[in-house]
Structures are given as C-alpha cells and as structure tokens.
Structure 1
Amino acid sequence: MIIKASAKRIGGGIAALVLAGTAFTSSAHAESFSATAASDCPPGWFCVWAGENYTAQMQKVEGNNTDLSRYTVFVHARSDFNNGRSCDVNLYGGKNYTNYLGTVKRGGKGAGVGHEIKILSNKWVNCT
C-alpha cells in the first residue's frame, strides 16, 4: 500500500481505508457485511474492516462520499483494501473532504497497524 500522509504519519496499510475504484456514477453509497479476507472485497470497491487482518465486520464504498460518519466501520477501521479498477482514493478524517489523511493507490492493502483510523469522507482520484 502506498500512502502520502500530511500532518501525521499513518501506519503501513490502515491509511488505505478508502480504496481506489472504477469510474463511478453519481450515486455513492456504502454497504456492510461480514467478511474474513481481503478477497471478500468486490472489484471496483474500497473496503474497510473493523478488525486487523481483514476480520470482523466489513464495509465497502464506491463513489465520492462527503459523510461516512453513519458507517460504524469507517469510524473504527483497522484494515483495508483498495480493490478499485482505475482510481486511487483520498481519505479524509473530516466530513466534506477535510483533514486529509492520505491516498491509497489502486490495489493497496493494509492489514492494520494496531489502532483505529477514522475516515469521514473519501474522494476517488487519479483515474485512468
């Protein structure tokens, strides 16, 4: 996983909580379900898990999202996978793309760094 961090260093992997995806439609949304492996993240989605090593509850997101606060796992994420098809994803600790946390490259994975990361918005970038 490749991350560009600003004010604080985000450990290897967990900052990649919002993964790159395909070119998205205007409807952005997230879904939640149980998963136990990075391979459970479907193509075109950015997925986060409540547990390290892709365990516990998983939530996935596609499209740009200005407010992910209603999704528990995004507020308490410990591992992630960007299974997007053509984009990197910027992660933000604040709503409406504020408090930049880092960029997760397409294909980036993070099994966890021992602490939670709060992701409150995401934007897909660098689409090919």
Structure 2
Amino acid sequence: MKRTAVLISALALTGVGFLGSTGTASADTCPSGAVCAYLNENWSGKAYPVYQDNDDLTMYSGWRWAESIYNNGKSCNVHIYSEKNHGGARYPLNRGTGWKSIKGSAVYHHAFSNKWYGCK
C-alpha cells in the first residue's frame, strides 16, 4: 500500500496529473549545487537554497510555504518529502530540472525534508 502511494505521488510530480511539467531551463536565482524552494510558482522571487540532506526544513519559510522547486545540484538528484525525517510522500527531482508549480501535490506548502541520491 505504501509503495503504491509513493508511486502515485512520483507520477504526479513527473508531469502525469496535476503539477506543472518539469523544466529544463535553469532557475537563475538558484545557486549551483543547491536545491531551491520558491514562495511563488515559476521559480520567481527569492530562492531558498539547501545543499545537503535535511531532516527538518520547516524552519525555512521558503520550504514550509513552497510553491515551486528547482534542483540545481552539480551531481545529484534529490527526493523531496512532505513530512519531516524523510517521511510522507516522496517525490524524485532530477538535477537540472524543477517543478514550476507544485500546487495540488503533498509537498505544496509542505516540503519538509530532502535527501540527495544518485550522485555521479
């Protein structure tokens, strides 16, 4: 059951369903090596970058109220989670791509932890 929920969540964020398609153009304000959350759709406004695994992103308003996310990592993909400590729904985000809108997903205003994976 849990595996099915994760699969459905992943499909939703990869462009099947309610989210904006993943982008391939860089979000200019997201520093190299970071994954960035934005308080607005389309990666507009201030970037809230993080560079490592985080068990609790709720202390950062940009993550707690995120409406778009971009992975500008140098060599890793990243999982974004809807709960602290890598719990809840898990969404994979390849490096060099992002979600212009996460509205309707479990991480909309709830991107509460992240973990890098698939590093090259």
State the TM-score, normalizing by the size of structure 2.
0.74
Residue aligning to 1:110: 99
Residue aligning to 1:92: 81
SS at match of 1:122: strand
Cα distance in 2, alignment partners of residues 126 and 84 from structure 1: 11
Q: Is the 8 Å Cα contact of residues 29 and 46 (structure 2) preserved in structure 1? A: no
Residue 42 of structure 1 and its aligned partner are, at CA, apart by 1.0
In structure 1, list runs of 5 or more residues that go unmatched.
17-36
Cα deviation code 1:12-35 (max 9, x no counterpart): 358x9xxxxxxxxxxxxxxxxxxx
SS at match of 2:82: strand
Q: How does 1:1-128 map to 2 (within 5 A)?
A: 6=6, 7-8=8-9, 9-10=12-13, 11-13=19-21, 38-114=27-103, 116-128=108-120
Q: Compared with structure 1, are the counterparts of its residues 55 and 90 closer, same or farther at alpha carbon in structure 2 (3 Å cutoff)? A: same
In structure 2, list runs of 5 or more residues that go unmatched.
14-18
Cα distance in 2, alignment partners of residues 81 and 90 from structure 1: 12
Superposition RMSD on alpha carbons, in Å?
2.3
Q: Compared with structure 1, are the counterparts of its residues 126 and 94 closer, same or farther at alpha carbon in structure 2 (3 Å cutoff)? A: same
Residue aligning to 2:16: none
Equivalent residues, number: 103
Residue 48 of structure 1 and its aligned partner are, at CA, apart by 1.1
Q: Write 1 or 2 for the structure with the bigger share of strand.
A: 1
Residue 78 of structure 1 and its aligned partner are, at CA, apart by 1.1
Cα distance in 2, alignment partners of residues 113 and 59 from structure 1: 15
* Runs of 4+ in structure 1 over 2 Å off: 7-10, 113-117
State the TM-score, normalizing by the size of structure 1.
0.70
Cα distance in 2, alignment partners of residues 104 and 127 from structure 1: 13
